[in-house]
Chains A and B, each alone.
Chain A
Amino acid sequence: TPSSSDVQLTEDAVRRYLIRKPMTTKDLLKKFQTKRTGLSSEQTVNVLAQILKRLNPERKSINEKMHFYLTE
């Protein structure tokens, strides 16, 4: 069956982005836009929150904005 989405919001995908570079919540949301994942806005927020709670990334402030990041 063909997939309706070309991007999947998964823990692995979020981990890969946060290892590559620090990102704000908005940066992450841009990577998992609802039109790409097929999820609703509410689902996106809920799933991303659960993933970030599990990953428990480091945080740092860059240009006065809070960024998450992970080290390998």
Chain B
Amino acid sequence: SSSEADEMAAALEAELNDFM
């Protein structure tokens, strides 16, 4: 579903923001 995709994108961006 698109909401699951949104959640995954948000989780991924949160992980990357810690790093970048």
Contacts and interface: CB of A to CB of B under 8 A. Distances in A.
| Interface of A (DSSP majority class) | helix
| Interface of B (DSSP majority class) | helix
A26 B16 contact: no
27 contacts: A24-B9, A25-B9, A25-B12, A25-B13, A25-B16, A26-B5, A26-B6, A26-B9, A29-B5, A29-B8, A30-B5, A41-B7, A41-B8, A45-B8, A45-B11, A45-B15, A46-B15, A48-B12, A49-B12, A49-B15, A49-B16, A49-B19, A52-B12, A52-B16, A53-B16, A53-B19, A59-B20
Interface of A: 24-26, 29-30, 41, 44-46, 48-49, 52-53, 59
